[in-house]
Amino acid sequence: MASPATQGSEERAGYVAFSSPDFLLFQAARFFIVAALEMQSVAIGWQVYEITKKPLDLGLVGLAQFLPGIFLFLAAGHVADRFSRRSVLLCCYAGFGMCSSLLLVLALRTSPSVLMIYAVVLLLGVVRTFNGPAGRAILPQLVPIEHFPNAVTWNATTFQAATISGPALGGLLYAVSHGPRAVYGGAILAAITASVLMWSILPRAQAARNAKTASVFAGFRYVWKQKLILALISLDMFAVLLGGAVALLPVYAREILHIGPWGLGILRSSPAVGAAIMAFFLAHNPLRKNVGSVMLWCVGGFGVFTIVFGLSRSIPLSLLALLLSGAFDMVSVVIRGTLVQLATPDEMRGRVTAVDMIFIGTSNELGQFESGLTAAWFGTVPAVVLGGIGTLCVIGVWAWIFPELREANEMTGEKAEA
């Protein structure tokens, strides 16, 4: 049993985490940079579709962000371990600001080139690839290790807050200014603010490491052998890959729901609102039993409400469907994140995390390409509906071929009693 002092320390963990000035500065910097990227994504999607009127071109935006992660994730992990993570993040924030500046220059032209926008988005994908590992790895340098779990919770909360406010602000600025210029200008200011905040951080020195390619490939081998981890990572990846409708939201906002760029920002924010509400609920009502079955049912809910959104012509119903899809997806994220960490030995967690990043971290962008491609083949509504049906089919297959997932009972990955 924990001592009263220990219990009191645990109860005060949230306040202790925020008592670190460096942690506060990092959260503020992360909020500004994530909000900048989210508001910018609204402008890019609307601008590209306004120029070409082709759903496939929206998918290519996702593909342009996906490709750098595939080719550079080994290098990104190596850089995050070999160099100062604060310096890496400063370079990344400067890179984000440069990409926003290039997009602003293109927007100032009378006839902006879609190919040039793709080129900037590709560069944006490169910067994001290096930003991810460094942003994850710097967190333990900012708070005492005993408060790290609480710091992770606040880190996720900051991300959701930025994901909610960023698209709404981006859509509003696009609508008020009648174009993307104000959005890109706002993203530049946000990147500068984030850079100033990051410059003020003085993290503890990181241990010197030699990041080797072989160590990352060892993570692949471990995941392949541990069927529960393989099931968790692959189920989440294919669910997002097939069921994601984010890339086609500009089509829905412009041609189906007729709500304009401001409405597009609200649509993009809705899944994050649902995720934030569910995260708050799970924080006070943690999952304890039958977590494998719960995950399968919740991924199924994500697929069902993707279908509902695809068929909806009602603005309130569409917003509700996106909100609920985000809520169900958050349950999947929590279960996967917890089970993967607890089912992995401490000495393997870094390498397994690298595999998790390449599977999950890039599935959103590849899913956008898949959505744009199927929309070009079958039409926008059929693409979203077929994606949701595909998610439901994947659940059935995964429940059959991975009994380890179906039988997982507690958050430790233990099987349910017969």
For residue range 92-124, list pLDDT tens digits in order. Answer: 999 999 999 999 999 888 777 788 999 999 999
For residue range 259-290, list pLDDT tens digits in order. Answer: 877 788 788 778 888 888 887 777 667 777 78
313 found inside a domain: yes
148 lies in the same domain as 253: no
**Domain around 162:** 21-200
11 found inside a domain: no
194 lies in the same domain as 264: no
Q: Looking at the predicted structure, is the pLDDT value of residue 1 above 50?
A: no
Residue 197 is predicted with a pLDDT of: 94
Cα distance from N-terminal residue to C-terminal residue, the chain: 30
More reliable by pLDDT, 219 or 75: 75
185 lies in the same domain as 238: no
237 lies in the same domain as 338: yes
Residue 158's pLDDT band (boundaries 50, 70, 90)? Answer: confident
138 found inside a domain: yes
Distance CA 219, CA 381 (A): 39
210 found inside a domain: no
191 lies in the same domain as 226: no
Distance CA 418, CA 404 (A): 14
Q: Which of 5-9, 96-100, 327-331 has the lowest mean pLDDT?
A: 5-9
Mean pLDDT of the residues in the chain: 78
Residue 208 CB partners (closer than 8 Å, separation 6+): none
Q: How many domains does the chain have?
A: 2
Of 200, 226, 241, which one is at a domain's C-terminal end?
200
180 lies in the same domain as 267: no
Of 146, 172, 200, which one is at a domain's C-terminal end?
200
Which CATH number goes with the domain that contains 170? 1.20.1250.20
For residue range 234-246, list pLDDT tens digits in order. Answer: 887 777 777 666 7
Of 200, 232, 253, which one is at a domain's C-terminal end?
200
* pTM of the model as a whole: 0.68
284 lies in the same domain as 340: yes
For 246-294, give the secondary structure using H, E and C.
Answer: HHHHHHHHHHHCCCHHHHHHHHHHHHHHHHHHHHHHHHHCCCCCCHHHH
Nearest-CA neighbor of 37 among 364, 406, 414?
A: 364
